Amino acid sequence: MILSDTDLREYLRSGRLVVEPLNWEIVRENGLDLRLGSEFCEVLHTDEALVVGGGDVSGYYRCGRGGEYVELKPSTHYLLHTMEVVALPNDLMGFVELRSTFARLGFLMPPTIVDAGFRGQLTIEVVTPPYPTRVRVGTRFLHVVFAKTLTPVANTYKGKYQEQRGVTLPRW
């Protein structure tokens, strides 16, 4: 079952779903629009092989912080994050997509899921359009559709990204 704006407002008011800072304008017809945070990590081009599952990956990224805007190069992979911290209860999960405006501008994002029990800011990957872009920090850029599970999840998320803040690089 997908939660409507009425359902989302009830989950937020009751504290079962937490979004901080909460601006009620992010509650949409059937989801929440989350806003862009100020940190970014550009995925670098290199001929050095990455050993998946081990070692430090920070050399494969150039990370920084935007001011009023996050400046993005054309046709480049980035990790970005949400301004909001979310905390999902054990009976909700989320499907994360770009807002359609960003998709229409040429941004791409792989499918992303938020598991029941997750707490933290979301880190997502985007590929930028073939022209430079400047996105104002605080712009609504993601849409999260929440689905209620048929029964509460017994084994909620306790993974390595729990409580993440800012852009979080891959962890092994």
Q: Report the residue count for the chain.
A: 172
Question: 10, 42, 125, 163: which one is catalytic?
Answer: 125
N-to-C CA span, the chain: 33
Q: Distances in Å between the alpha carbon of 16 and those of 9, 25, 61?
A: 10, 19, 36
Does residue 39 have an active-site annotation?
no
Query: CB of 61 within 8 A of CB of 41?
Result: yes
Q: Which of 69, 78, 85, 160 is nearest to 122 (CA)?
A: 85
Distance CA(22)–CA(59), nearest Å, equals 35
Phi, psi at 93, each rounded to 5°: -135, 165
Which residues are marked as active site?
A: 125
